[in-house]
Structure 1
Amino acid sequence: MKQSKYLKWFGVASTVGMLLILLGGALVTKTDSGMGCGRHWPGCNGQLIPDVITPEVLIEFSHRIVTGTVGILILVLAIWSWRALGHIRETKFLSIMAVFFLILQALIGAAQVLWGQGDFILALHFGISLISFAAVLLLTLLIFEIDRKFDTENIQIGSHLKWHTIGVTIYSYIVVYTGALVRHTNSELVCLDWPFCKNDAIGLPTQFNEWVQMGHRFAAALIFIWILYIAIHAIRNYKNQRVFYWGWIIALILVSSQVITGMTVVLTRLNLYLALLHSLFITLLFGLLTYMILLVSRSRITKE
């Protein structure tokens, strides 16, 4: 029991740490601090610890320290969970995913510093970190399930909800990628109005950056409509399945918050705090959707 208690806290610390990595990476990108340490990695400006601290150096170097520290936590969590919960079918897979994608995102970040990467490759960085976060989150939830705190036993869903859950989760990753592409191609303020690029001249985008920005807005609108539809379906049909009922209500709240912060980021001309909230909401939404996938994989599927 004591081991379970310590493992829980370790899981929570690792999940929060992974969230800090994601937000730290977003902060690096949004403040253009990626070259704060120059073309040096893992050192900073030719030193192990930089002696000249500018805001860019502070942000980039802090992000590296957090990534390294949390990386150790996640490695320990993966090994500990493997040994303590290896009998649960998802444990080993999630442990491997958490470590593999954390290392992969670190390598992509290092490659960007040392050699530079194209915008389309850099846009993958946030998404890869997101997969690692989801794996760590699900590992932590598996640890808490030991005490049966969650009502996840003997659940059943209709095939309609199953396929919508799988579809919207996969699609959410596309939305994440388009959002990252907006940042890395510097397309945030190419459209200064909302919801259309130019409210006084509604029409198709006229150049690449406008296509990137409006493509992301279209993708975000579609996921909002899709999750709204699923939430209405869950509210009508799953009142007795609390984990799905409340899960999709929370998903609707998160995707609504995502849309609102996306709008206000544009209208406030890239307010940093709102931009970080924008990243936070999509991270939490993706984590929740992957948990729904986990539940779907365990559920007994019925016809609707």
Structure 2
Amino acid sequence: MKQLRILRALAVVTSVGAYIMLLMGAIVSKTESGKGCGNSWPFCHGQLIPESMPISTLIELSHRVVSGIDGLLILILTVWSWMMFKDNMRVKTLGFMSLFFVVLQGGLGALTVVFEGEFAKKFALALHFGFSLISFASVILLTVTLFQLPKQLSVKDDQPISKGMKIATWGLAAWTYVIVYTGALVRHADATMGCGYSFPGCGTTLLPDFTSLAGIHMLHRYGAYSMWLFSLLFLIGILKAFRDRQDFVRGGWMAFVLITLQALTGIITIKTGGQLVAALVHTTIISVYFSVISYLCMQGGWPWKRSLKEAELPANPMVN
């Protein structure tokens, strides 16, 4: 159907825009260009196009323009998807999440600009990135769903996912989101080089004061270590008990490869003194990783929903 093909094309364009918006936000943070437009919002220094355009202003203004354009695309995509698939709860939910969180992160970003002196800036900016990540993942999942429809190439009744694996999948997604916040806090607290060039520890100290820059950095680093381990165990569980579910097998392998690359880019970021390119690649990989895990959550379904044949599967995802 022609209308569906156009909708899918719009979804792909919107997904690319969501990624650019996420990346531009990381550039703004990394280059400390958040005040490039002063304390005015949505205008820049009170003007639609400011007369003076230093690099910080150009970066911040570009971020606002990209966010505005993609926000409009998300609105159109959401409304159009709802109109075409009125009875599809998945489309409704993902569309709502895409729109809600892009508006929420935009509003939070505006607050950090306008009320910087009265706002808990570091934590607010960390929340800003977290909400952007949810919006990005929701747009990606909505796009995937639109390509699955109307055939519904999703969960197969003859290969159900056990409740234990569903809990493991959603737990990994939740833990990833928590660690993402610690990474955003590292960036906004200027703690990237909190341990200098030291790796894997923090100099001679393994447990620094977690209120210090070194402590903030190590809090994220220990969380990252745990994510790599959990991703490995998750992959092993899939290969042992759900080898016939090719969506989970591919997703598990992708997640493990991505988290390994994420660890490598984190090391490179430290060893290069927090260079911009390494930091942007780091942001990109974790965004894709979170989207992959979110996709597996969508494919597996809610942990409390059981299929007719699920009782035949082992409760422990690590046991065949």
Q: What is the CA deviation profile of residues 24-63 of structure 1, one whole-angstrom value per residue up to 9, with x for unaligned ones? A: 1001000100011111111112211022221111110000
Pairwise mapping of residues 58-73 of structure 1 onto structure 2 (< 5 A)?
Answer: 58-73=58-73
Q: Which amino acid aligns with 1:29?
A: S
Q: What is the CA deviation profile of residues 98-121 of structure 1, one whole-angstrom value per residue up to 9, with x for unaligned ones? A: 111111111111111111132122
Cα deviation for residue 147 of structure 1 reads 5.4
Cα deviation for residue 151 of structure 1 reads 5.4
Which structure 1 segments of 5+ residues have no match? none
Contact 2:112 2:124 in 1 (8 A): no
* Correspondence 1:127 to 2:124: no
Contact 2:101 2:132 in 1 (8 A): yes
CA distance in structure 2 between the partners assigned to 1:253 and 1:9 by the alignment: 28
Q: What is the CA deviation profile of residues 221-244 of structure 1, one whole-angstrom value per residue up to 9, with x for unaligned ones? A: 001100111112212332211000
Cα deviation for residue 149 of structure 1 reads 8.2
- Residue aligned with 1:102, SS: helix
Pairwise mapping of residues 141-220 of structure 1 onto structure 2 (< 5 A)?
Answer: 141-146=144-149, 148=151, 150=153, 152-154=155-157, 155-192=159-196, 193-198=198-203, 201-206=204-209, 208-220=212-224
* Correspondence 1:11 to 2:38: no
Q: Which amino acid aligns with 1:102?
A: V
Counterpart for residue 112 of structure 1: 112
Which of 288, 291, 301 is equivalent to 1:287? 291
CA distance in structure 2 between the partners assigned to 1:151 and 1:131 by the alignment: 21
Q: Which amino acid aligns with 1:64?
A: R
- Residue aligned with 1:156, SS: coil
Pairwise mapping of residues 215-234 of structure 1 onto structure 2 (< 5 A)?
Answer: 215-234=219-238
CA distance in structure 1 between the partners assigned to 2:102 and 2:40 by the alignment: 20
- Residue aligned with 2:48, SS: coil
Q: Which amino acid aligns with 2:69?
A: T
Pairwise mapping of residues 36-75 of structure 1 onto structure 2 (< 5 A)?
Answer: 36-75=36-75
Cα deviation for residue 150 of structure 1 reads 4.2
Cα deviation for residue 132 of structure 1 reads 1.0
Cα deviation for residue 291 of structure 1 reads 1.1
Cα deviation for residue 218 of structure 1 reads 0.5
Q: Which amino acid aligns with 1:65?
A: V
- Residue aligned with 1:282, SS: helix
Which of 227, 233, 239 is equivalent to 1:235? 239
Segments of 4+ moved more than 4 angstroms: none
CA distance in structure 2 between the partners assigned to 1:267 and 1:238 by the alignment: 39
Cα deviation for residue 92 of structure 1 reads 1.3
Cα deviation for residue 203 of structure 1 reads 3.1
- Residue aligned with 1:107, SS: helix
* Correspondence 1:20 to 2:20: yes
CA distance in structure 1 between the partners assigned to 2:255 and 2:16 by the alignment: 19
Cα deviation for residue 133 of structure 1 reads 1.1
CA distance in structure 1 between the partners assigned to 2:279 and 2:144 by the alignment: 28
Counterpart for residue 318 of structure 2: none
CA distance in structure 1 between the partners assigned to 2:17 and 2:293 by the alignment: 20
* Correspondence 1:268 to 2:272: yes
Counterpart for residue 301 of structure 2: 297
Counterpart for residue 90 of structure 2: 90
State the TM-score, normalizing by the size of structure 1. Answer: 0.95
206-215 vs 149-158, greater mean Cα deviation: 149-158
> How many residue pairs are counted as aligned between the two chains?
302
RMSD: 1.5
Q: Which amino acid aligns with 1:286?
A: F
149-158 vs 45-54, greater mean Cα deviation: 149-158
CA distance in structure 2 between the partners assigned to 1:210 and 1:190 by the alignment: 4
- Residue aligned with 2:23, SS: helix
Q: Which amino acid aligns with 1:195?
A: P
- Residue aligned with 2:89, SS: coil
